[in-house]
Structure 1
């Protein structure tokens, strides 16, 4: 994921420099995490509104509904044994695999798990800079819904995750929100967080759904 962030940062920086009045970001699925990596690591960004469209901001834990028929023997219970290893971290999804039963491994400094660094849940010498950079945005717009079928749990699109009892832990209950580790609580306090829950939209349909764009996204692009 950091490789992708580095590559895309260069492209985005050129676009930002060409539009000094400021830009907006619309980032879909895994791209929402890549964009967040750009925002946190690029101190010179001029992003106004960041629209996170069905993106696993709270991490992934579980096999997406759409692939279960093809991989019935894959168990999210044991995959951490592969994902939370140096070799496993070469796989993108492993970089944001959020196993509530093994958060000690998720936060393990030597692994440098991408999402743990973004959340400042693991030691990060750039932690303060990441937070300050993220807080340069004016608004964070989070869009997701219960019929997504890929983001697991779907509440991850709003920084939710499973807890150790298999129940949903909402954004406001997350450790990184309570501690304001990367600025999420600050954004909430200044009224800069917008959450939209939209039923009836499958994961692959979000970028093409005109109602989603017209009703929930277009107004943030002025």
Structure 2
């Protein structure tokens, strides 16, 4: 079996974040679940290399089948509201946190920063997250709730910007049709808002500024999200525009496109070793 795993060692004692290890949340991707083996492996690795670190794997339901189904059919803003409340109710996060998001979870953690009033956001790591959306129906792998994935694909084929599909299909809410920009801006219920396509939201801008380190990873061989270039789109946006005001973060943004792997549902964790990356780059 082709094993993909990561060492995510979040900083201890960095003056830019905290003298203590901040807790970590991990948000899984499409068709996955917070209790899945890949997500749990990542959580256990963090605990192994940073003993005592509190790690929370995001789930939107106590039932596995519903947690997976929610990745297709629970509106993103409802998911964000749920997770935001959960973080505020958990005293472990009262002094701040790090975030790791895989696939669409990478987009969600960035949106969580913008929409949730969080204290002391350390590192936000988006691994294959579609920051500028998708324009290609995501591929179903035949694993997990494959029928839910196939239903999502069928609904998207009818039209991502219809009110019903926008309101019920997660992937439609970050569907970005470059041939219909006006339609996208008018009817997108999620992506156009967090990317501030229609108007600037000063609260979003200020909250983004508070991220200590933003890491965007693009999978060169991603076969699920289309186009894969959406994963590091913020890098290109920084050179031509400032839609969410990332400029003050320039010193703390890192883009990686050298990790030649696919993000598979059975092995959700990316195949790159972040130990040297974090040691030599992020936490200097």
* Equivalent position to 1:153, from 224, 227, 230: 227
Distance 1:117 1:202 in 2: 29
Match of 1:184 in 2: 246
Contact map agreement 1:57 1:158 (CA 8 A) in 2 = yes
Query: Which secondary structure does the structure 2 equivalent of 1:8 belong to?
Result: helix
Distance 1:3 1:96 in 2: 14
Query: Within the alignment, does 1:87 sit opposite 2:164 as a pair?
Result: yes
* Equivalent position to 2:137, from 42, 45, 63: 63
Distance 1:182 1:145 in 2: 23
Contact map agreement 2:87 2:93 (CA 8 A) in 1 = no
The alpha carbon displacement at 1:19 in A equals 4.3
Cα separation, partners in 2 of 1:112 and 1:197, compared to 1, 3 Å:
closer
Contact map agreement 1:62 1:152 (CA 8 A) in 2 = yes
Query: Which secondary structure does the structure 1 equivalent of 2:183 belong to?
Result: helix
Q: Which runs of 5+ in 1 are unaligned?
A: 161-170
Match of 2:146 in 1: none
Query: Within the alignment, does 1:193 sit opposite 2:261 as a pair?
Result: no
Contact map agreement 1:180 1:186 (CA 8 A) in 2 = no
Query: Which secondary structure does the structure 2 equivalent of 1:56 belong to?
Result: coil
Residues 126-152 of structure 1, C-alpha deviations (whole Å, 9 max, x = no match): x11011111110111011221121121
Distance 2:180 2:174 in 1: 13
The alpha carbon displacement at 1:11 in A equals 2.0
Contact map agreement 2:94 2:119 (CA 8 A) in 1 = no
Cα separation, partners in 2 of 1:91 and 1:217, compared to 1, 3 Å:
farther
The alpha carbon displacement at 1:85 in A equals 1.7
The alpha carbon displacement at 1:87 in A equals 0.8
- CA RMSD in angstroms comes to 3.0
Match of 1:4 in 2: 79
Cα separation, partners in 2 of 1:112 and 1:149, compared to 1, 3 Å:
closer
Distance 2:129 2:209 in 1: 19
Tell me the matched-pair count.
Answer: 196
Match of 1:214 in 2: 275
Q: Rg bigger for which structure?
A: 2
Query: Within the alignment, does 1:117 sit opposite 2:177 as a pair?
Result: no
Distance 1:8 1:133 in 2: 17
Distance 1:55 1:86 in 2: 24
Normalized against structure 2, the TM-score is what? Answer: 0.60
Residues 91-142 of structure 1, C-alpha deviations (whole Å, 9 max, x = no match): 101111111001101111xx35201100110246xx1101111111011101
1:32-51 equivalences under 5 Å are 32-51=106-125
The alpha carbon displacement at 1:214 in A equals 3.1
Contact map agreement 1:57 1:159 (CA 8 A) in 2 = yes
